[in-house]
Amino acid sequence: MRINRFLAASGLGSRRSCEELVLAGNVTVNGQVCQNLATDVTEEDFVKVGSRRILPEKHLYILLHKPRGYLCTAADTHDRRTIFDLLPAQWPRLFHVGRLDLDSEGLLILTNDGDLGLHLTHPRYKIEKEYEVLLDRAYNGAIDTPKLLRGVSIEGGRAKAESVRQVSPKVLRIVLRQGLKRQIRQMLYKVGYEVERLIRTRIGPLRLTELHAGEWRALTAAEVKGLREVKQDVPKETNIQPSAKKRPPKPKTFTGEKRERPVKRGGRSLRGAAGARDANRPSAHPATAGKAHGKQGRRTSGPGSASSTPRAGRRP
C-alpha cells in the first residue's frame, strides 16, 4: 500500500498529516529517506518515523449502541461526553463511520479500516440506513409520505426518503440512502412535525438487536465481509447507441413563387414556342441589363433609342 496509507493505518493520524511527514523527510523505508508519496510498502519493509519503527495496526471493527447525549467526536472543547468514552482507553485510534447527532441514538460502526469506512459512506454505494422515529403528534401518511418520498429541500441539499412505514400513529420507520446533516429531523420539520426520539436500527445488513445503550461488540469476520459486499442496487446508466435504421427523408418545401407547369398542345409545349419567339429579344436578366440599357434603364443604341433622337441645343 502507499506510504501515507500505511502510516495512517498505523495510527499516526490522517492520510493528509502523514503526507506532510513524508514530504518533510521524516520517514525512512529500509534505511533510505522517503519523500515520494507514490512509494509502496508492505509489512516486511522497515519503516521508521524519526527514531520510532512503525508497524501496521490490526484492523478493528466495532458495533456500538450510541446512547443519547454522547457526541460523535474524538475530543470536545466543552468537555462533553463522547462515544470514545464508552470504549477501552488502550485501544488504537478508531473513527466512526457516519455520525449521529447529540440527541440521536442507535447503531454506529467504529473502525480503523479506511477502505471499509469509505465504502460505507461514499454516495456511490448508497448503503441503506433504517431509523425508528417518534413524532410529537399523529402522522398523516396519506398527505406527508408522498412528500418525503418525492423529496424536500433542507439545509444541505435535496433530501428524500427511500421508504416510509407507519408503525403506530406517532412512530415511523424511515429508510435513507443519503447522509445529510440532521436529515430526518429537517425533513419531518418541513412537513410539520417535531422529532421526539430518533434511533438508527440498521446499517446495510447489520441490525441493532441485542445491544443495550452504551454497549458494544466486535463484528465477526462474516459481518465484515457482508459489509464489504454491500453495493448499490440502483441500475447504472448505460450508453444507448442510436438505431441503425435510416430515418425517412424530410419532405422538401418550396418557399418561393409557385411555378406553373407548361401546357402542351399537339406535343409541343407553350414554353418551347414562346422561347422560340423570344430568342431575338434582349435579355432582361439583371446581369446583362446594364449592357443593353443605361443607368436609368433606357436603351443607349439602336433605332428608337434615346441616343438616335437629337437633343435640343445640339447639332445633329
Distance of CA 281 to the CA centre of its chain: 74
State the average pLDDT over residues 138-152: 96
Which residue's entry shows cell 440502483? 234
Half-sphere exposure of 134 (CA within 13 A, CB side): 7
User: C-alpha dihedral over 280, 281, 285, 286, to 10 degrees?
Assistant: 130
Please give the order of strands across the beta sheet that includes 52-53: 32-33, 27-29, 47-49, 52-53
CA distance 89 to 307: 120
- Report whether pLDDT(306) > 50: no
More confident residue, 149 or 242: 149
Q: What is the pLDDT of residue 146?
A: 96
Annotated domain spans of the chain:
3-53, 129-203
- Report whether pLDDT(79) > 80: yes
State the average pLDDT over residues 133-161: 95
User: Which grid coordinates belong to 246?
Assistant: 435510416
CA distance 30 to 44: 10
Task: Name residues whose C-beta falls within 8 Å of residue 152's C-beta, 6 or more positions apart in sequence.
Answer: 158, 159, 160, 187, 190, 191
State the average pLDDT over residues 48-59: 85
The answer to whether the CB of 171 falls within 8 A of the CB of 179 is no
Catalytic residues: 101
Choose among 30, 31, 22: nearest CA to 2: 22
Strand, coil or helix: 66: strand
What is the architecture, at CATH level 2, of domain 129-203?
A: 2-Layer Sandwich (3.30)
- Report whether pLDDT(66) > 70: yes
CA distance 224 to 210: 18
Give the strand pairing for 61-66 and 216-218: antiparallel
Query: Which tens digit of pLDDT belongs to each residue from 245-303?
Result: 445 565 555 555 555 565 555 555 445 544 545 545 555 554 544 444 444 444 444 44
- Report whether pLDDT(83) > 60: yes
Distance of CA 222 to the CA centre of its chain: 32
CA distance 35 to 173: 51
What is the architecture, at CATH level 2, of domain 3-53?
A: Roll (3.10)
Mean residue pLDDT across the chain:
79
Task: Name residues whose C-beta falls within 8 Å of residue 213's C-beta, 6 or more positions apart in sequence.
Answer: 65, 66, 67, 68, 105
The answer to whether the CB of 154 falls within 8 A of the CB of 190 is yes
Summary count for the chain: helices (H), strands (E) = 8, 17
Which residue's entry shows cell 441493532? 208
The answer to whether the CB of 106 falls within 8 A of the CB of 199 is yes
User: Which grid coordinates belong to 46?
Assistant: 522497515
Helix axes 141-150, 183-190, angle to 10 degrees: 130
Query: Which tens digit of pLDDT belongs to each residue from 156-190?
Result: 899 999 999 999 999 999 999 998 999 999 999 99
CA distance 257 to 183: 67
The answer to whether the CB of 132 falls within 8 A of the CB of 172 is yes
Which residue's entry shows cell 401546357? 263
Positive or negative: CA dihedral 160, 166, 168, 172: negative
**What's the alpha-carbon Rg for the chain, to the nearest Å?**
42
For the entire predicted model, the pTM comes to: 0.63
Domains 3-53 and 129-203 share a fold: no
